[in-house]
Homo-oligomer: A and B are copies of this chain.
Amino acid sequence: MEDAATAALTEAAREKLRQTVDRIERLEEEKAEVANQIKEVYGEAKAFGYDVKALRQLVRIRKVDRAEREEQEAILDLYLLALGEI
């Protein structure tokens, strides 16, 4: 007997599913590679004598700051929009 998964699907449907899963898996691999590179940079920094924990905090703070700045600009745009300036 064919296995159930095979039986339940058309060949086309199975092919499409397989492609979707493949795309996701390739992207996740890419993501893992980049994550690895980040780890390496922290590793080098540590070897260089940096306090890695502090460095991570610095990066995090800058990220939050950036987000806040962007929000501020968005608010400003809203005000300008409300005034018919843009």
Contacts and interface: CB of A to CB of B under 8 A. Distances in A.
A13 B50 CA distance: 11
A83 B34 contact: no
B35 A31 contact: yes
Interface string A42-74: 101100111100110111011111011001001
Interface residues of A, number: 53
- In terms of DSSP, what is the predominant structure of the interface of chain A? helix
Say how many copies of this protein the assembly contains.
Answer: 4
B83 A20 contact: no
A82 interface: yes
Contacts of A30: 34
Interface string A5-48: 10011000110110011011101101100110110011011001
